[in-house]
Amino acid sequence: MKFFVDTADVSAIKELNDLGMVDGVTTNPSLILKSGRDIVEVTKEICDMVSGPVSAEVVATEAKAMIAEGLKLAKIAPNIAIKVPLTWDGLTACKAFSSEGHMVNVTLCFSAAQAILAAKAGATFVSPFIGRLDDIHMDGVELIDDIRTIYDNYDYKTQILAASIRTVNHIIDCAKIGADVITAPPAVIKSMVNHVLTDKGLEQFLKDWAKTGQKI
C-alpha cells in the first residue's frame, strides 16, 4: 500500500518523507488555505521534495475552465496529478487530461457507480471519502471494498486512493481490502506507531535496565 500525505504543510511532509513514509501528497483548496501560502509556490516546493504524485486541485466547476486551470497546474512539475471533482464536467476534464498523458485524481467519490465512471474516463486515481460517509452513518470502508471488487472484475487500471482517513483502523481496513493508496493527515499516519503495550513494555525495560547500574 502506498502512503500519500494529505497536507500542504511542507515541514510535516519533510519529516515523513525523510523516513521513507511518503509515496505522494494530496492537497485541496482547504489545505492550501490552511498553509497560508501561494498555491503555485507551495505546490512546487512539495513537488521538488517528493518524487511521487502530488495532487493539485482545480477550482473551476465547468469543464472548459477546469481544463484551462489543470493545464496550468500541470506546468508546475512533472509529478503533478490534476485533481478534479467527480461531476460530469470533472469527468469531461479527466478524459481530456488523461488523453494527453496527465495523471488525474478524481476526488469526492461517494459511490461505486461514480468510481466506475472515473475509471472509464481514464482516471489515474479515484478518491472515495471514507470519513465523510461515516459521518452520515454509511460505511465508508464498505465502499472501498465494493470498488475493489468491481475494478478487479474488469481489470480497471485506476488506483483506489482511500481518502478522508480519520483513524488508524481506517488505514488497516483499507490495507486488508487492497486499496492501492491511502491519503491521510500526518498526525494519523504518525499515530500508527502507538500501542499501549509498546509503551508499557518500554517502561518496564527501562526500569529494569536502571536497576543494573550499567551504561551502553
The C-alpha atoms of residue 186 and residue 9 are separated, in whole angstroms, by 9
Residues 40 and 26: their CA atoms lie apart, in Å, by: 14
Catalytic site includes residue 14: no
> What string of H, E and C letters represents the secondary structure of 84-128?
EECCHHHHHHHHHHHHCCCEEEEEEECCHHHHHHHHHCCCCEEEE
Task: Quote the CA–CA distance of 83 and 73 in Å, as a whole number.
Answer: 10
Residue 177 identity: I
Q: What are the cell numbers at 114? A: 461514480
How many of the other CB atoms lie within 10 Å of CB of 70? Answer: 25
The distance between the two most distant Cα atoms of the chain, rounded to a whole number of Å, is 72
64, 72, 75, 83: which is the annotated catalytic residue? Answer: 83
Strand partners, 4: 24, 183
Residue 198 in grid coordinates: 509498546
- Helices 88-99 and 63-74, axial angle in degrees (round to 10): 40
Hey, which residues are catalytic here?
83
